[in-house]
Amino acid sequence: MLQDLIKIAYLVSAILFIFGMKRLQSPATARKGNQIAAYGMLVAIVATLVAKPIVTPVEMILGLLIGTAIGWIWSKKVEMTGMPELVAAFNGFGGIASAVVAFGEIAKLIQNTGTDDGEAFVMSTAVTIALSILIGGVTFTGSFVAYGKLSEKISGNPMSFPGMRLLTLVLAIVSIGATVWMVMGAGAFPDDFMTTAVSVEFTEPMIYGAIIVATAAFLLGILLVIPIGGADMPVVVSLLNSYSGMAAGATGFVLNNTALIVSGALVGASGLILTKIMCDAMNRSLLNVLIGGFGGDGQTAAAGSKSMEGKNITEVSSEDAAILLAYAEKVIFVPGYGMAVAQAQHAVRELGDELQKRGVTVKYAVHPVAGRMPGHMNVLLAEANVPYDQLYEMDDINGEFDTCDVAVVIGANDVVNPAARHDTASPIYGMPILNVDHARTTIVLKRSMRPGYAGIENELFFNSNNRMLFGDAKASISKVVSEVKGLD
């Protein structure tokens, strides 16, 4: 009876997760949705605590307290600009938790032989344990390499070495081999496991097999992320997000637990959808992204197909930029990673407010892969109190650039390069872009003339109706704000 109630509780928690995620379909209901999902988690935790007698309460409470303290402090202290690496790190913790639970399950199965708590070690359990360790391990190291790249603790440039793909292949084969060894070991598990402790020869394949799978998984996770450049991070972060769900799902198979399987599947699906959206927004296949080598800081990548030599750029002063903006009817801001780096979102919002006071229509156009993770720019602008109904997705705003007086590009580059539309030789040809060049005037804020992540020159900069405003984005915008304020 109790066990049936527990199962129903897990079902309830899975339903709460689904309803919670459904509410993420609108910013108005999203916060409530997240809270509903958190209640779902609470239901699952309580159900687990009452399901079976607790034999080691002190250890359990200790684990809960330490984890809560770290999670609480970290989530309170993080800056919004540090969000991509935080998401990556949390992802990694989820992955390693799944892998360690699978190890704990092995320990439980082996240590309880010869007692009444003994359970059979069956082949399907061995497969799911190996899967849980494999996916969890890849998620763990992959996420922490991503964390390092996003927080600039390690270089954001793609890294590779000779024989890397061969090593990846070898590691994949090794982990499959170790899994087979575990399965065969489970098949040979003695039938009298409840009366006599199982001898070493039967436990070895489990323990060492699992350690080999874990080692291979850790290395595979590193190899998965190091060849990927900073600007391709949105894809990897989404993919790792999906993996962390699948790792939880695999653990659900190990424990035969509905809540884990359903939520693992939900998160797995969510990550995959985001991965696909990110790839589509760059017009590249997932395989192409994963092979990597694309998208460092622009210094190593190949030069563009079309030389821009002999063409001129036009600089603009902050005074002139202020005049252009203040007397416009419609202004569209296009933020990119540069805005995040310069922490310019508050200055941008201030400029937007000043312009609106003067009767200018202000909108924000956000490309799906702007920044280092899906939705990165939206979070930063929300932090700066830009109302979400002023933020537009690419397809909804692209038609509006034709009627726009000034498009202001803040630290975005390749996502506004018109070459993507017509230059078949360009590496970014075919990538959907924001049509800022259709605006009457464009102002591009940039530190210097260094090319974007794809390492190609941006045609936009050389257009006759484009003005370059060089310098730190935050300082430049702040100057423009004070100039606008000075106008009558």
Partner 1 sequence: MLLDNIILFTLASLVGFEVISKVPQTLHTPLMSGSNAISGITIVGALIVAGQVHGAWATWLGVAALVFATINVVGGFMVTDRMLQMFKKKD
Residue 432 engages partner 1 in binding (rule: CB under 8 A): no
Among 60, 120, 184, 303, contact with partner 1 (rule: CB under 8 A): 60
Residue closer to partner 1 by CB (options 103, 453) is 103
CA–CA separation, 254 vs 324, rounded Å? 63
The gap between the terminal CA atoms of the chain, to the nearest Å, is: 77
52: contact with partner 1 by CB under 8 A: yes
Give the range of 192-200, 212-220, 381-389, 466-474 binding partner 1 by CB under 8 A: 381-389
Q: Which of 163, 190, 387, 486 binds partner 1 (CB under 8 A)?
A: 387
Q: Which residue has the tokens 């006599």?
A: 196
Residue 394, both tokens:
């690419």
Among 25, 195, 285, 300, binds partner 1 (CB under 8 A): 25
Contact 209, 133 (CB under 8 A): no
The nearer residue to partner 1, 76 or 422, going by C-beta atoms, is: 76
Residues numbered 311 to 370 that lie near partner 1 (CB under 8 A) are: 366, 368
Piece in contact with partner 1 (CB under 8 A), picked from 179-187, 283-291, 316-324, 376-384: 376-384
What span, in angstroms and rounded, lies between the C-alpha atoms of 272 and 241? 8
Contacting residues for 16 by C-beta, under 8 A, at least 6 apart: 36, 37, 39, 40, 43
**Does the footprint of partner 1 cover residue 67 (CB under 8 A)?**
yes
Number of residues that bind partner 1 (CB under 8 A): 119
The residue whose two tokens read 């202000």 is: 362
- Shortest Cβ 240–partner 1 spacing (Å): 9
Element spanning 63, H or E: helix 57-77
Of 117, 192, 353, 414, catalytic:
414
Q: How far apart are CA 170 and CA 38, in angstroms?
A: 41
Q: Which stretch binds partner 1 (CB under 8 A): 158-166, 211-219, 379-387, 401-409?
A: 379-387
- Long-range Cβ contact pairs of 20-26 (< 8 A, separation 24 or more): 21/266, 21/270
Chain positions 107 to 146 lying near partner 1, rule: CB under 8 A, are 107-108, 111-112, 115, 117, 124
Q: Which is nearer to partner 1, 41 or 308 (CB)?
A: 41
The distance of closest approach from Cβ of residue 337 to partner 1 in the complex, given in angstroms and rounded to an integer, is: 14
Contact 454, 305 (CB under 8 A): no
Report which secondary-structure segment, H or E, holds 466.
strand 466-470
Residue 197 DSSP symbol = P
- Segment 268 to 287, residues that bind partner 1, using CB under 8 A: 268-274, 277
- Give the DSSP letter of residue 35: H
Cβ neighbours of residue 115 under 8 Å, at least 6 residues apart? 194
Block residue for tokens 């009817």:
329
For residue 297, indicate whether it is catalytic: no
Sheet holding 391-393, edge to edge: 391-393, 361-366, 330-335, 406-410, 441-446, 466-470
Residues 211-270, interacting with partner 1 (CB under 8 A): 237-238, 241, 244-245, 247-249, 251-270
Stretch that binds partner 1, among 57-65, 153-161, 326-334, 420-428 (CB under 8 A): 57-65
Cβ proximity to partner 1: between 125 and 175 the closer is 125
Q: Which stretch binds partner 1 (CB under 8 A): 37-45, 182-190, 213-221, 434-442?
A: 37-45
User: 2 to 21, contacts with partner 1 by CB under 8 A?
Assistant: 14, 17-18, 20-21
The catalytic site residues sit at 414
